[in-house]
Amino acid sequence: MRLRKARHHLLIAAIAAVSLSFLAAIGSTSAVEERARPARGADADILQHARKALDEGKKTFRFDTFGDEAFWGDSLKLHQAIAGAANGGVGDGLTPHEALAVGLKVDVDALPGSLKSDLRHGRVNLDDPATTLALLRLNAVVGVTGFFEGNGAQTLRSVGIQCALCHSTVDDSAGPGIGRGAPDQCLSSISQPSASCCATGATKTSTSFSG
C-alpha cells in the first residue's frame, strides 16, 4: 500500500514538473517573439516610409533628367530641331505625328480635360510642331522634359531625357501612343515595336509611371 502511494505521488510530481517546464518554455518563446515583433507604431512608420520611397521613385523615373539636358540640349541642340524654325529653332521641327511614329508616347493624365476632349474629337493639329511644344510644356511627353524661357515661357531652350523614355509605355486608351502608363514595355522598344523587341529576348520592365 505504501509503495503504491509513493508511486502515485511520484507520478503527480513528474506531471507537475513537465507542466511547469512546458509553461516556462511557452513563456520564454512568447517573450522572444514579442521582442522581435515591432510595435504597431513602428510598423506604421515603416509602411509610410516605404510608400513615400515608392512615390519618390515613380517621380524620379517619370520626371528626373539627372541633368542630361546639358548633353541633349546644350551640346546636341536637340531642342532646336524639335521646335523648328517657325518656333525659334531650326528646320521643319518635330510634329506629334512624327514623334508618335518613332515611338514617343503621350501621358493622357498630364493633359487638361479640354485638351483630352479635343483629342478625342480630332480637333488637335498633330502635324504642327507647335503642338509638340505645347505637350512638352504640360510634361505630357513620356520620357522627355522641355525647358522653356522667355515671355510666357514660350521659347524651348533645352530638352532632357528621363528613364521613362525607354522603360515605359502607355495603354493607347486615347489613341495610338496616347494613354495612361502601362507596364511590360521592352527596354529597347523606343526604336522598334514591342512585339519585335520582346521576340529578341530583350529585358522587360513592369514599371508604370501612373497611379
On whether both 143 and 171 belong to a single domain, the answer is yes
On whether both 71 and 167 belong to a single domain, the answer is yes
Which structural domain range is residue 35 located in? Answer: 2-55
Does residue 86 fall inside a structural domain?
Answer: yes
Does residue 210 fall inside a structural domain?
Answer: no
The per-residue pLDDT string of the chain (211 residues; one tens digit each, 9 = 90 and over) reads: 555 555 555 555 555 555 545 555 555 555 545 555 555 777 888 888 888 888 888 888 888 999 999 999 999 999 999 999 999 999 999 999 999 999 999 999 999 999 999 988 889 999 999 999 999 999 999 999 999 997 666 899 999 999 888 888 899 988 899 999 865 445 444 444 443 343 333 334 434 444 4
Does residue 211 fall inside a structural domain?
Answer: no
On whether both 79 and 159 belong to a single domain, the answer is yes
Contact 166, 187 (CB under 8 A): yes
pLDDT at 92: 97
d(CA 187, CA 165): 9
**CA angle, corner 37, sides to 35 and 38, nearest 5?**
105
Does residue 173 fall inside a structural domain?
Answer: yes
pLDDT at 195: 37
On whether both 51 and 121 belong to a single domain, the answer is no
pLDDT at 34: 56
**CA angle, corner 13, sides to 8 and 18, nearest 5?**
130
pLDDT at 96: 96
On whether both 117 and 34 belong to a single domain, the answer is no
d(CA 99, CA 189): 14
On whether both 42 and 81 belong to a single domain, the answer is no
Counting the structural domains of the chain, the total is 2
State pTM to two decimals. 0.66
d(CA 178, CA 119): 10
Does residue 160 fall inside a structural domain?
Answer: yes
Say how far residue 47 (Cα) sits from the centre of its chain: 18
